[in-house]
Amino acid sequence: MAATPAIAAMRIQPTGLPVNAVAKIPGSKSITNRALLIAALAAGESELLGALASEDTVYMAKALEALGLRVKHDIAGERFIVHGGDGTFPANEAELFVGNSGTSMRFLTAALPLGYGHYRIDGVPRMRQRPIAPLLDALRDLGADAVSEQGTGCPPVVVQASGLPGGNIRVPGDQSSQYFSALLMVAPYARETVEIGVIGDLVSKPYMQITADGMRAFGVEAELDEVDWSWFRVESGQRYQGRIYQIEPDASNASYFFAAAAVTGGRVRVDGLGRSSTQGDLNFVRALEAMGATVEIGDDFTEVTGREGGRLRGVDIDMNAISDTAQTLAAIAPFAEGPTTIRGIGHARLKETDRVEALATELRKMGQEVEERPDGLTITPRPVVAADIATYDDHRMAMSFAIAALRAPELRILDPGCTAKTFPDFFDRLGVVTGAAMTPEKGGF
């Protein structure tokens, strides 16, 4: 039987009308993968409701199954059922593969020392370029045996596990807050209290609150220095208990629909994301507000209304805390009046691709004037020209430039299937919300 041709590109033909819709956004990847790990460590059964079904969360779930835990994925019901291992793993040997899921790699690497046996975790070629040395150094300082197999400071990681002793450590904060989240989530099961000092400034600080809130929901308290984010502490002897846990919509993925409202002069409302959300990326709407949109955040919803004609103002903004939405902002910057400067995202060069360089490259293809700097870029609007947008196997490149295509009809998004990482039906939902025609173009086999 012949193979089905892959979708090589997505051509988006906008309607020319303002968006006016309520967008339904799948569950948060960040919260789902944290909840999967915490539920796996808990005593008893957990039911995770509103969970995201995507490559990243499936990789996490399958890795937990490979470690001997029972995980049921009800895709239609948007839920996972996890039977926890009460702080350890039944399997004493496992080969884990997590694709290009950074959360899965880092969270599992920190958790594996809680088991007893030999474990190896690997990913796609890009994952083998993504640094994990600060986390490995931290685990060794806590008494674990965890090493980079090839001595590169990157995966594959090999762990010879016999429980986690614990103690006091210091970890650089300039690469990823996921190192700290990973260590906090496994810390309750260390034999001694775990205290973590931050070296330098911590990037992506809001994600630490997501982690602490998830831990608290399952019965464990983490102490966070929320003044200058210089230390974290988890008292030993605490234990997670299985429970029913509701996951809220993904604020990072909601950013594309909010941006669609701003760039078309329309209105988009997302239910389930409101004042009580712990997701820092919801603050992306404040960037849109600075560009001229109107924002309303209620108890359980957020709504963005763009200015007539989709008129935007250029902004100068530090996006260190919400770097996953920097691509969304950059993709609509060509339609602003005046330059847009994005700062504080140097650590985004270590993500699925070098996101700063990728943005500069693709925006220049669109005819934009771009100044690239180590920690960000400045985009000076110029007339938009037709372009094929490369996505670098990065879901956020594809989704961000799809929003640009709502105003620039001659853009084609290459390799649109990379959105499966966190938002498998993104183009279908974007078509429904915006009324824009989504035309997939078949490629090779």
Residues that are catalytic: 324
The conformation of residue 129, written as its DSSP 8-state character, comes to G
At 318, list the tokens.
């530090």
Rounded CA-CA distance 421/189 in Å is 30
Rounded CA-CA distance 84/105 in Å is 19
Q: Which of 191, 241, 232 is nearest to 212 (CA)?
A: 232
Q: What CA dihedral angle connects 406, 408, 412 and 417, to 10 degrees?
A: -20
Sheet hosting strand 222-224, strand order edge to edge: 167-172, 194-199, 231-234, 222-224
Rounded CA-CA distance 414/395 in Å is 11
* C-beta separation of 37 from 60 below 8 A: yes
Q: How many CB atoms lie within 10 A of CB 152?
A: 13
Q: How many CB atoms lie within 10 A of CB 290?
A: 17
Residue at token pair 């920690």: 375
Rounded CA-CA distance 385/381 in Å is 11
Helix (H, G, I), strand (E, B), or coil: what is residue 295? strand
Helices (H), 227-283: 251-264
* C-beta separation of 445 from 6 below 8 A: yes
Residue count (the chain): 445
Q: What CA dihedral angle connects 26, 216, 116 and 36, to 10 degrees?
A: -10
Point out which residues pair with 337 in neighbouring strands: 313
